[in-house]
């Protein structure tokens, strides 16, 4: 395990839901017998905040603050496709392997394959192994070639975060004479990812997947769900990442 990656994510968890709201709630419980008003206020903030972040409508609005506008791909804007990893499914025993792609990476890989068939541009996959011994990039390559029938031109398998994705991928692309790329990731991740790849001197055409449906809210959009809490988590994660990267620029 990459211990720098682990420590960074452990510290970040304090600022991410649900822990960022559970901690004030625990403090509130301890304060009920000493400072009742403070304790009640903290508990109210904790429970109300958790309820809101578990609500699909609120979670969707949070994620919408990160979504880039949809622009159709013409096919002549870039010379290569870069697909960013989003994690692995470590217990993929039903596939006869130790791990495979999780749903986030699989959605990105699928869109990368679609773009390749539409544009004919070569693919670079990027993702290291911060949590274990299997690099995401190698698994992405295997899935693209064996399951989607799409060749992979370059594999970057050292990166532990988005900034390293950009740095290491740009090195491979510059060696191949590539300066313009389609960057494939989820739309809520692209604001941070595009900025990092542009910092490396590349011209980036965002190629986002995972847009939210444009539909009027229904009653169930205000009923708490674990999926909505996960959506809120991703929104918080990206905003914190944007702030952190700008601070460390």
Residue 248 maps to which CATH number? 3.40.50.620
Which residue, 11, 1, 3, 8, is CA-closest to 163? 8
Q: What is the pLDDT of residue 243?
A: 92
- Taking 90 as the threshold, does the pLDDT of residue 90 lie above it? no
In a domain, 90, yes or no: yes
Model confidence pLDDT, tens digit, residues 12-69: 888 999 999 999 999 999 999 999 999 999 999 999 999 999 999 999 999 999 999 9
CB 126 within 8 A of CB 158: no
Q: What is the pLDDT of residue 153?
A: 98
In a domain, 216, yes or no: no
- Taking 80 as the threshold, does the pLDDT of residue 166 lie above it? yes
CB 3 within 8 A of CB 129: no
In a domain, 83, yes or no: yes
Q: What is the pLDDT of residue 2?
A: 66
Q: What is the pLDDT of residue 123?
A: 98
Model confidence pLDDT, tens digit, residues 100-138: 999 999 999 999 999 999 999 999 999 998 777 789 999
In a domain, 10, yes or no: no
Model confidence pLDDT, tens digit, residues 178-193: 999 999 999 999 999 9
Radius of gyration of the chain (CA): 20
Residue range 148-164: mean pLDDT, rounded: 97
- Taking 90 as the threshold, does the pLDDT of residue 168 lie above it? yes
Model confidence pLDDT, tens digit, residues 190-241: 999 999 999 999 999 999 999 988 888 899 999 999 999 999 999 999 999 9
CB 122 within 8 A of CB 145: no
In a domain, 232, yes or no: yes
- Residue 35 and residue 42: Cα distance in Å, rounded? 11
Across the chain, what does the average pLDDT equal? Answer: 93
123's tokens: 């693919």
Q: What is the number of domains present in the chain?
A: 1
In a domain, 172, yes or no: yes
Q: What is the pLDDT of residue 1?
A: 65
Q: What is the pLDDT of residue 216?
A: 87
- Whose structure tokens read 């990893």? 85
In a domain, 134, yes or no: yes
CB 89 within 8 A of CB 102: yes
In a domain, 166, yes or no: yes
Range of the domain at 72: 54-210+221-249
């Amino acid at each position: 395990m990459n211990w720098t990656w682990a420590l960074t994510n452990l510290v970040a968890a304090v600022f991410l839901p649900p822990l960022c709201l559970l901690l004030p709630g625990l403090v509130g419980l301890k304060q009920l017998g000493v400072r009742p008003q403070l304790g009640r206020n903290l508990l109210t903030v904790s429970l109300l905040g958790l309820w809101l972040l578990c609500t699909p409508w609120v979670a969707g609005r949070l994620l919408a603050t990160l979504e880039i506008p949809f622009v159709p791909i013409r096919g002549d804007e870039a010379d290569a496709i870069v697909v960013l990893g989003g994690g692995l499914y470590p217990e993929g025993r039903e596939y006869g392997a130790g791990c495979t792609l999780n749903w986030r990476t699989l959605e990105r890989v699928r869109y990368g394959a679609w773009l390749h068939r539409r544009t004919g541009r070569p693919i670079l996959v990027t993702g290291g192994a911060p949590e274990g011994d299997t690099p995401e990039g190698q698994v992405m390559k295997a899935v693209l070639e064996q399951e989607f029938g799409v060749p992979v031109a370059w594999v970057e398998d050292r990166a532990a975060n988005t900034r390293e994705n950009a740095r290491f991928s740009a090195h491979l692309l510059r060696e191949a004479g590539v300066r313009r790329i389609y960057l494939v990731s989820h739309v809520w991740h692209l604001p941070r990812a595009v900025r990092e790849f542009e910092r490396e001197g590349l011209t980036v055409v965002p190629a986002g997947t995972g847009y939210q449906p444009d539909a009027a809210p229904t009653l169930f959009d205000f009923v708490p769900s674990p999926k909505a809490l996960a959506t809120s988590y991703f929104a918080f994660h990206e905003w914190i990442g944007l702030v952190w990267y700008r601070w460390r620029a």
